[in-house]
Structure 1
């Protein structure tokens, strides 16, 4: 009998440790005049929470002002917290706590917000982040290319990325590879893209939306793909102590843009006129000339 009682006690203690006791967060809604609301997601230690027993609560000076459990939204295949926060005055500082029901852990959210009457934050695409620790807000595309395709060059200028490919390359169904800021994700419209598992038509520029890990920031990127249109001929004149060097580019295709850069920095661009462009007054150094999808490095030496 003793062994049986001990077994039951141990089982109870184990179950208590595993399932725990959810925090008793409650709010007396009738005591308040005003509300603000959130559509949010919960994240603990870098992991998204997805149990309907997980919850978030809002507090003002330790008093609970709102609580919401996660709800599954089938159209998005995600879990959201629809949180309403109550107050009688504007600008009260509101803090948050989240409860991870699987780990039976309550964690404080570092981010706070001032109460604003009737204000709403977050939506199904860009939900408000209730996370501990805080998630990252970077939205950069660090690199971009295409699976099993040679990339001649890449130019990142502001929020535009231009990729240069070989002449004749089919660009109507490219499997795009991208490297992003940690935790960020790429969307075309509202459709999430997976690196290396897509087929995109770059006949015209495509707009990528990069959403930060905390979903607070969206950055629009324009992706342009160019293919080599024709071969060009290059000539150079080295610099001397009294005169800069020069590079001449000959190409048959009129109105084609020719870009001169050094160390990844664009110095100048010209349009082919009468079959040529000339870049003058160049200092010693290794320059890159880009015409269509083709690029070539040319070194200007200094003659003394």
Structure 2
């Protein structure tokens, strides 16, 4: 009987130790300094965006959102009531898609979207009453 108890104890410990995994770690980034070269762009569009539910526990009022076209910052979000208002700058003949980046100050992770939103002069993406939820992926 003692051997049986020892065997089950050993088996239980082996199972517990095998199920303990380290949390996946990601690259930490310093806080970005995103700026737009306003002099280069004569038109704009507006986006009102919020974070997905899975990132809300990490949300901090110092977090940042910015819009990019071809890796160039075209708009920096202003936080109002947990939504980011982003004025996205461009040219009248702009035909590129916009992507977004989100920086979490709590975990120092950078997140990004695909380039999915076509730049359109005077267009509005999301509203105060119905902001668009960003589909973000962590930058490794």
| Superposition TM-score tier, normalisation by shorter sequence | 0.5 to 0.7
Poorly superposed stretches of 4+, deviation over 3 Å: none
Which of 40, 44, 51 is the aligned partner of 2:60?
A: 51
CA distance in 2, matches of 1:104, 1:70: 18
Between the two structures, name the one with larger relative contact order (CA 8 Å, sep ≥ 6). Answer: 2
Q: 2:31 is matched with which residue?
A: 22
Does the CA contact (< 8 Å) of 1:53 and 1:69 recur in 2?
no
Cα RMSD between the aligned structures? Answer: 2.1
Q: 1:37 is matched with which residue?
A: 46
Alpha-carbon shift at residue 111 of structure 1 (Å): 5.5
Q: 2:128 is matched with which residue?
A: 124
CA distance in 2, matches of 1:101, 1:55: 8
Could you tell me which runs of 5 or more consecutive residues in structure 2 were left unpaired when the two chains were aligned. Answer: 1-28
Q: Secondary structure at the match of 2:113?
A: strand
Q: Secondary structure at the match of 1:110?
A: coil
Alpha-carbon shift at residue 64 of structure 1 (Å): 0.8
Tell me the TM-score normalised to structure 2 length: 0.68
Alpha-carbon shift at residue 30 of structure 1 (Å): 2.0
What CA deviation, in whole Å up to 9, does each residue of 1:235-276 have, x standing for no partner?
Answer: xxxxxxxxxxxxxxxxxxxxxxxxxxxxxxxxxxxxxxxxxx
Could you tell me which runs of 5 or more consecutive residues in structure 1 were left unpaired when the two chains were aligned. Answer: 1-19, 73-78, 134-304
Q: 2:85 is matched with which residue?
A: 82
Higher Cα Rg: structure 1 or 2? 1
The structure where helix makes up a greater share of residues is 2
Which of 103, 107, 118 is the aligned partner of 1:103?
A: 107
Alpha-carbon shift at residue 59 of structure 1 (Å): 1.1
Q: 1:93 is matched with which residue?
A: 97
Alpha-carbon shift at residue 56 of structure 1 (Å): 1.1
Does the CA contact (< 8 Å) of 1:59 and 1:66 recur in 2?
yes
CA distance in 1, matches of 2:31, 2:79: 14
The structure where strand makes up a greater share of residues is 1
CA distance in 2, matches of 1:50, 1:94: 23
Tell me the TM-score normalised to structure 1 length: 0.33
Q: Secondary structure at the match of 1:64?
A: strand
Number of equivalences: 108
What pairs with 1:1-304 in structure 2 (closer than 5 Å)?
Answer: 21-43=30-52, 46-48=54-56, 50-72=59-81, 79-88=82-91, 89-110=93-114, 112-133=116-137
